[in-house]
């Protein structure tokens, strides 16, 4: 399970509406994902605040008005629910909870957006046959090539000893900012490794599959890393673990 799928199931999980299989999958994901676990904790905390409120029955006039509105909805129900949660939490003096909840939601959405964009960049580089601006298996050739082209120095590792040779690099753009794209190879499978300073408010780590491509994200030494390939999950995991050491 990926974070995007987990985010869609959290409300039903909190309300005990998930089936046994979905509940088990989500709980397994929460064990290894601190971002989703924090999001769950925020929603459970907000639920406890709501349950502490006194109950006041709605006036008949308000009930009638809501009934009329329900026959001709004009708004997106999810937006209405989101606005109601915010209004309720603020009225309870829970502004800190609102901020935490909003930030957690933003992290999930930003991570999903960036993941989709790096997959798009990977596909475009393959389609346009523009994987390289500099083509070399020598890290001491590829790394200096970026000097003066970026305002940061990307780490360039030689992984040929474990079967992932470096084959080159290029400049790319993700989320409107220039990034380094290193290209590694596993047999006939290219791996794009996008690198930029970690200031984009994405999750600290992320694993997902998009349109048949495996995507891995992690942060190390102040840098955000995104690896994309059509490799199988096990081999891309081996590649990522080698870079995280």
Give the HSE-up count for residue 24: Cα atoms under 13 Å, Cβ half-sphere: 3
pLDDT at residue 184 in the model: 98
pLDDT tens, 186-220? 999 999 999 999 986 788 899 999 999 999 999 99
- Torsion of the alpha carbons at 139, 141, 142 and 144, rounded to the nearest 10: 110
> What domains lie within the chain, and their CATH numbers?
3-92 (1.10.10), 118-244 (3.30.200.100)
Query: String of b and e for 62-88 (b: at least 16 CB within 10 Å)?
Result: eeeeeeeeeeeeeeeeeeeeeeebeee
pLDDT at residue 100 in the model: 64
- Report the distance separating Cα 43 and Cα 14, nearest Å: 8
pLDDT tens, 23-40? 888 888 888 888 778 878
Q: For the packed helices 20-32 and 34-51, what is the interaxial angle rounded to 10 degrees?
A: 120
Calculate mean pLDDT across residues 115-134. Answer: 95
Phi, psi (degrees; rounded to nearest 5) at 139: -60, -25
pLDDT at residue 144 in the model: 97
pLDDT at residue 199 in the model: 80
Using an 8 Å Cβ cutoff, are 112 and 4 in contact? Answer: yes
Strands (E), the chain: 166-174, 177-186, 189-197, 205-210, 213-220, 223-229
> pTM to 2 decimals?
0.61
Calculate mean pLDDT across residues 151-166. Answer: 96
pLDDT tens, 79-105? 666 666 666 655 555 555 555 666 777
245 sits in which H/E element: none
* Residue 232 predicted with pLDDT over 60: yes
């Amino acid at each position: 399970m990926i974070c995007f799928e987990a985010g869609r199931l959290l409300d039903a999980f909190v309300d005990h509406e998930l089936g046994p299989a979905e509940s088990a999958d989500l709980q397994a994901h929460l064990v290894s994902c601190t971002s989703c676990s924090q999001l769950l904790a925020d929603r459970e905390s907000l639920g406890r605040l709501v349950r502490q409120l006194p109950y006041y029955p709605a006036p008949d006039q308000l009930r009638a008005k809501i009934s009329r509105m329900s026959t001709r909805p004009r708004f997106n129900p999810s937006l209405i629910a989101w606005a109601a949660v915010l209004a309720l939490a603020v009225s309870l003096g829970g502004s800190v909870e609102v901020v935490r909840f909003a930030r957690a939601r933003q992290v999930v959405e930003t991570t999903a957006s960036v993941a989709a964009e790096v997959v798009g960049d990977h596909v475009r580089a393959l389609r346009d046959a523009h994987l390289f601006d500099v083509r070399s298996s020598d890290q001491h050739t590829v790394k200096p090539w970026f000097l003066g082209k970026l305002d940061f120095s990307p780490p360039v590792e030689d992984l040929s000893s474990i079967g992932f040779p470096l084959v080159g690099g290029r400049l790319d753009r993700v989320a409107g900012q220039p990034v380094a794209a290193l290209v590694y190879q596993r047999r006939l499978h290219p791996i794009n490794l996008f690198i930029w300073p970690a200031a984009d408010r994405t999750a600290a780590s992320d694993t997902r599959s998009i349109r048949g491509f495996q995507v891995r994200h992690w942060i190390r030494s102040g840098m955000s890393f995104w690896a994309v390939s059509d490799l199988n999950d096990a081999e891309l995991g081996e590649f990522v673990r080698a870079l995280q050491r």
